[in-house]
């Protein structure tokens, strides 16, 4: 059996850190959105034994450290399917360590593919529970679309889908360590927070300007000053080029801008590329399954 599919990146339209939970994890409140930037995943299952992962990027682990490997192992453990040699191949297009959920998207895609290939009949909720065992963003990436994510990110509520939007994603010259950034968080010192409820209401009212006005990510204020300056510079360039709004996604450092037309997005993309920036064009997407 062979199957090929796409693993789609996610953006955070808002990200708030509410506090620390008893298990040491931070309690989150986020509005998350799937976009068309994607990795390409191939899975091959033949009679035999073993599990392997390969990638076109040499520095991505190919053993049990890889999140796609972990989730495939979890799938076979849960379903008790055995007797197959499973090979997973990943072509990376989503920037790594950028807050775009590339690894989580890959894991979710592998789960969906294995569920279909083996006709396992696992519903989305079961797939989300399996995904949570390997990463907090994996449950969202199972279905994607527009959702409110709470808890560690695993408590998901469907929201009114965002109006179709053109997106530019720009990766700064540095990467972010999510655990390191979380270590800087002092919840009682967070100065500004997103109006998440207002953003959700704007989605319901189909008020795109109301959505972008309320986009906010508390991680931007936690970044060290030099890194925050580069993020601010990219946001300013996007806004100067006509973006309706621009913020950092996830724990960063990727920045995205929302544009009302494909032409404006293309013009801004070309301008940022001329500045030597690493940029990607994308569009918002609805649910994947």
Reply yes or no: is the peptide bond before residue 253 cis, omega within 30 of 0. Answer: yes
Which has the minimum average pLDDT: 11-25, 29-43, 157-171? 11-25
Q: Is 2 helix (H, G, I), strand (E, B) or coil?
A: strand
Which of these, 263, 262, 266, lies nearest to 279 by C-alpha position? 266
Q: How many domains does the chain have?
A: 2
Which of these, 227, 224, 228, 280, lies nearest to 257 by C-alpha position? 280
Residue 137 catalytic?
A: yes
Q: Which helix (H) or strand (E) holds 179?
A: helix 178-183
Residue 91 lies in a domain: yes
| Whether residue 23 is found in the same domain as residue 138 | yes
Look at residue 11 in the predicted model and tell me its pLDDT.
Answer: 98
| Whether residue 196 is found in the same domain as residue 148 | no
Q: Which two tokens stand for residue 247?
A: 């913020």
The yes-or-no verdict on residue 188 having pLDDT over 90 is no
Other beta carbons within 10 Å of 52: 15
| Whether residue 105 is found in the same domain as residue 139 | yes
For residue 207, the domain's CATH number is 3.30.70.890
In angstroms, rounded to a whole number, what is the distance separating the alpha carbons of residues 174 and 233?
Answer: 14
| Whether residue 13 is found in the same domain as residue 32 | yes
| Whether residue 35 is found in the same domain as residue 116 | yes
| Whether residue 137 is found in the same domain as residue 197 | no
Residue 75 lies in a domain: yes
Each residue's pLDDT tens digit, 191-233:
899 999 999 999 999 999 999 999 999 999 999 999 999 999 9
10, 70, 171, 235: the catalytic one is 10
In angstroms, rounded to a whole number, what is the distance separating the alpha carbons of residues 178 and 250?
Answer: 9
Domain closes at, from 158, 175, 196 = 158
Look at residue 179 in the predicted model and tell me its pLDDT.
Answer: 86
| Whether residue 34 is found in the same domain as residue 53 | yes
Residue 10 catalytic?
A: yes
Q: Which helix (H) or strand (E) holds 102?
A: helix 102-117
Read off the pLDDT band of 251 (50, 70, 90): very high
| Whether residue 144 is found in the same domain as residue 204 | no
Q: How many Å separate Cα 289 from the centre of its chain?
A: 16
Backbone angles phi and psi of 91, in degrees to 5: -100, 115
| Whether residue 140 is found in the same domain as residue 26 | yes
Average pLDDT, the chain: 95
29, 137, 147, 171: the catalytic one is 137
In angstroms, rounded to a whole number, what is the distance separating the alpha carbons of residues 280 and 278?
Answer: 7
| Whether residue 26 is found in the same domain as residue 131 | yes
| Whether residue 11 is found in the same domain as residue 152 | yes
| Whether residue 146 is found in the same domain as residue 170 | no
Which domain range does residue 249 map to?
166-283
For residue 13, the domain's CATH number is 3.30.230.10
Q: Residue 48 — left, alpha, or beta (φ > 0 → left; ψ -120 to 50 → alpha)?
A: left
Domain closes at, from 158, 192, 213 = 158
Residue 86 lies in a domain: yes
């Amino acid at each position: 059996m062979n199957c090929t599919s796409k693993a789609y990146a996610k953006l955070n339209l808002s990200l708030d850190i509410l506090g620390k939970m008893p298990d040491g994890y931070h309690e989150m409140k986020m509005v998350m959105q799937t976009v068309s930037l994607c990795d390409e995943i191939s899975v091959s299952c033949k009679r035999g034994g073993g599990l392997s992962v390969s990638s076109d990027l040499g520095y991505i682990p190919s053993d049990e450290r890889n999140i796609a490997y972990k989730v495939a192992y979890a799938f076979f453990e849960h379903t008790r399917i055995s007797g197959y040699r499973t090979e997973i191949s990943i072509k990376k297009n989503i920037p790594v360590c950028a807050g775009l959920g590339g690894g989580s998207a890959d894991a979710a895609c592998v789960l969906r593919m294995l569920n279909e290939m083996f006709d396992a009949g696992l519903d989305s909720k079961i797939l989300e529970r399996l995904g949570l065992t390997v990463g907090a963003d994996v449950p969202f990436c199972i279905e994607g679309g527009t959702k409110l994510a709470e808890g560690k990110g695993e408590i998901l509520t469907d929201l009114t889908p965002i109006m179709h939007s053109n997106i530019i994603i720009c990766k700064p010259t540095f990467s972010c360590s999510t655990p390191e950034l979380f270590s800087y968080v002092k919840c009682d010192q967070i100065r500004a927070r997103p109006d998440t409820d207002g953003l959700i209401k704007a989605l319901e009212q189909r008020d795109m300007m109301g959505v972008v006005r309320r986009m906010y990510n508390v991680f931007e204020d936690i970044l060290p000053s030099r890194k925050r300056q580069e993020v601010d510079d990219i946001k300013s360039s996007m806004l100067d080029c006509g973006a309706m709004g621009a913020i950092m996604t996830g724990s960063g450092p990727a920045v995205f801008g929302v544009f009302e037309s494909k032409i404006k997005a293309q013009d801004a993309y070309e301008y940022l590329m001329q500045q030597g920036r690493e940029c990607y064009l994308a569009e918002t997407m609805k649910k994947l399954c």
